[in-house]
Amino acid sequence: MTTLDRLEQTIIARRAADPESSYVAKLRVKGRCKMAQKLGEEAVETVIAALGDDKAALTGEAADLLFHLTVLLADCGVPLADVYAELDRREGVSGLAEKAARQPG
């Protein structure tokens, strides 16, 4: 089991916890829009850290980004296994070809 898999299990378990004692539960109570907002904030902070050339800051922000993505995926009922399967499906396919295949027309 990977670190992300363990994180996903913890997030799922904490969704039903008391919002006063669990950040995940507090986010769940605030709703999906708040979860998406937090994910966006973490994405911006990750970009800023990457541009700042500080590996420790980037590592921390990337962890925050993965955490908030996992929270949002759990709320949407999308298991990490589905994300892994999609990544596996794309493996060995040129990123440009894969993106072109998703374009309409």
Instruction: Please give the CATH architecture assigned to the domain spanning 3-102.
Output: Orthogonal Bundle (1.10)
Token pair, residue 97, equals 């070809």
Q: Which amino acid is at 63?
A: A
Residues 46-75 pLDDT 10s: 999 999 989 999 999 999 999 999 999 999
In angstroms, rounded to a whole number, what is the distance separating the alpha carbons of residues 43 and 31? 19
- Residue ranges of the domains in the chain? 3-102
In the chain, the N- to C-terminal Cα span, in Å, equals 40
pLDDT for res 71? 98
pTM, to two decimals: 0.87
pLDDT tens, 81-98?
Answer: 999 999 999 998 777 776
Closest CA to 45 of 28, 29, 27, 57: 57
